[in-house]
Structure 1
Amino acid sequence: MSQPQSIGGSFRYGERERGYARQAYQSFEPLHITAYFSPYVTEKQKELGLSFKGRYFGMRAAPLGECDASVVASTFYNFNPTTVRDGWAEAHEKSDLKTLSAARTDIIDKTMRDAFGPLIDDPALPKLVGRLREIITPAETMGRSLSAAWMNEPWPDAPHIGLWHAFTLFREWRGDGHIAALVLAGLVPTEALVFHEADHPAGSTAKPSRMGRTATQRSRQWSDEEWNAAADDLASRGLLVNADGNQTLTEQGLELYRWVENFTDDAAASVWVGVEDADDVFSAARPFVKSIIDAGFLPGTQKK
């Protein structure tokens, strides 16, 4: 399998901009995922009478508006389409998109107030939100359906909710670019998951962020048969070694992995061109993200 090439055989944006694109993902992600791991999520889910999939797909995809489940499955990419269809149908049967959006906002509001404490009145917060809005607003959304939908959502008036909204725009915009990279790499949804969760060869300096096969299969709803079939296909293409139920990338697979990550960074780099105060932006965001991590409800942050 020949490896896909970046535009013109090289990256469109420089190492500085690509670095900031990756830093944005790494720095903003903990605060963004409060919408999925906040202790108020389960409470709200029960209140609405929804299962995990009804709540998750309903709230996250609400900005897409009334559309067929196939559109939602396409934008979420690596989830089993049947699970997406069932969750989207449940969200409509037991609730509605307006109610789900309001519920999501309520979760964020309560979570941020709890975690931020006195930081919620810090004058640096509205300034940070305003600057993030200036940076992300020019982002090109053609070909990026989910981020386009989120970009069309009104900005929250409350700064603490606005911070979550800003981080979410960066996150979904990058995510759409990542899906483009997976498509160009020839990795269909199941393959993309197996590829992402595979071990890296000895000596690799890459530090992938992984959930593990068990958690990935449970959340994305792919069977062992489907997982193993994808692993076999990747192995037949020379991208990984599939032995005794374990998958490890080959050197060719590692090369493709690096290409996907680099392409994703490049696709998210344009908004950082000319942003001379980028380091100040990340520095200003750090205390708010830290407060979420210190709250201890995100995976891997629970206090023992």
Structure 2
Amino acid sequence: MKGDADMKAARQAWRRLEPVHGMIYFVPEGRKRYAALGLNGRSGYFASRGAALGRASAELVIATFYNFHPDLVRKALPAAWDLATPEQVLAARYEAADEALRRAGIHELPELDTVLALARRAAEAACEHPQGRPLFAAHAALAWPDDPLLQLWHAQTLLREFRGDGHISTLVTEGIGPLDALVLHAASGEVPVDFLKLSRAWPEPEWAAAGERLRERGLLDGHTLSAEGKTLRQHIEARTDALALPAYSALGEEGCERLAELARPFGRAIVDAGLLTPA
């Protein structure tokens, strides 16, 4: 897989199945289980996603998660590890994923076995390329669950972090810092700016300064992307797609198209069950 058509097929396969993983950041099952460990609010998020790294420091999570305000992370870590071990947090995360996916009826979908086989093949191919992908590599070192439903969730988790690490390397290469990336994302209109400001916690003066910096670079026209900004974002997304190909090459273009088609009901079930609705 090398051409534009291959990258498009791989991206479609990832996007269609991504809700199976992404819902874990929104569902009440996660918040409930993290709270039972004493982890409330953002502590649950940073600890649960970072637990694969072990007793991760705030600085390690700041580096690997990339676009959260550092002070937000430091309020959660390393204090979270005084309340729960990484092993406990990981167990809670898998329990939450299992309960939420079952609430959506994912375990009853007829193509579960086929979707799992395709996603796992791609994830295992990604595991052959951990270099330069620290957050992915930490998750890749975790044991595969026994249950097929959780195997699917784990496979898509690996594919998400594999792609995410590649995306961060592209941002760094292009000189797009953490806040710059958020401002450009907001300027694209794909995500409400208020959601990004609230969830990433960058102060308004810093957000405004980043906007001015990007306007000086010619990447913003007011609060929207300039022509140059649109070109850069397209380049970043294309490069991210290319860096994700080592995983999806194992499926070939036909396999990616099949995964994308079979995964459609999975994403729809997640959305219909309200699993992607932010609290």
In 1, Cα distance between equivalents of 2:266 and 2:220: 39
Shift of 1:121: 5.0
Structure number with higher helix proportion = 2
Q: Find the counterpart in structure 2 of residue 181 from structure 1.
A: 170
Shift of 1:66: 2.6
Shift of 1:123: 6.3
Q: Say yes or no: does 1:295 pair with 2:273.
A: yes
Question: 173, 194, 201: which one pairs with 1:221?
Answer: 201
Q: Structure 1, residues 169-190: CA drift from partner, whole Å, max 9, x if none?
A: 1111111111111111111111
Q: Say yes or no: does 1:256 pair with 2:232.
A: yes
Shift of 1:155: 0.8
Q: Find the counterpart in structure 1 of residue 122 from structure 2.
A: 135
TM-score calculated relative to the size of structure 1: 0.84
Task: Give RMSD over aligned pairs.
Answer: 2.0
Q: Find the counterpart in structure 1 of residue 13 from structure 2.
A: 24
- What is the letter of the counterpart of residue 284 of structure 1? L
Bigger shift: residues 15-24 or 230-239: 15-24
Q: Say yes or no: does 1:155 pair with 2:144.
A: yes
> Is the Cα contact below 8 Å between 1:13 and 1:270 reproduced in 2?
no
> Is the Cα contact below 8 Å between 2:12 and 2:257 reproduced in 1?
no
In 1, Cα distance between equivalents of 2:219 and 2:21: 32
Secondary structure in 1 matching 2:78: helix
Q: Find the counterpart in structure 1 of residue 214 from structure 2.
A: 234
Change (3 A) 1:136 1:16: farther
Q: Say yes or no: does 1:120 pair with 2:107.
A: yes
> Is the Cα contact below 8 Å between 2:55 and 2:81 reproduced in 1?
no
Q: Structure 1, residues 228-283: CA drift from partner, whole Å, max 9, x if none?
A: 011111111111133xxxx1111111111111111111111233336232222223
Shift of 1:109: 1.1
Identity %: 37
Unmatched 5+ residue regions in structure 1? 1-11, 200-207
In 2, Cα distance between equivalents of 1:130 and 1:156: 14
Q: Structure 1, residues 56-110: CA drift from partner, whole Å, max 9, x if none?
A: 0100011111333211111100011221122122321221111110110110111
In 1, Cα distance between equivalents of 2:76 and 2:94: 20
Question: 51, 66, 73: which one pairs with 2:62?
Answer: 73
TM-score calculated relative to the size of structure 2: 0.91
In 2, Cα distance between equivalents of 1:213 and 1:123: 38
Unmatched 5+ residue regions in structure 2? none
Q: Say yes or no: does 1:172 pair with 2:161.
A: yes
- Residue correspondences, number: 275
> Is the Cα contact below 8 Å between 2:47 and 2:80 reproduced in 1?
yes
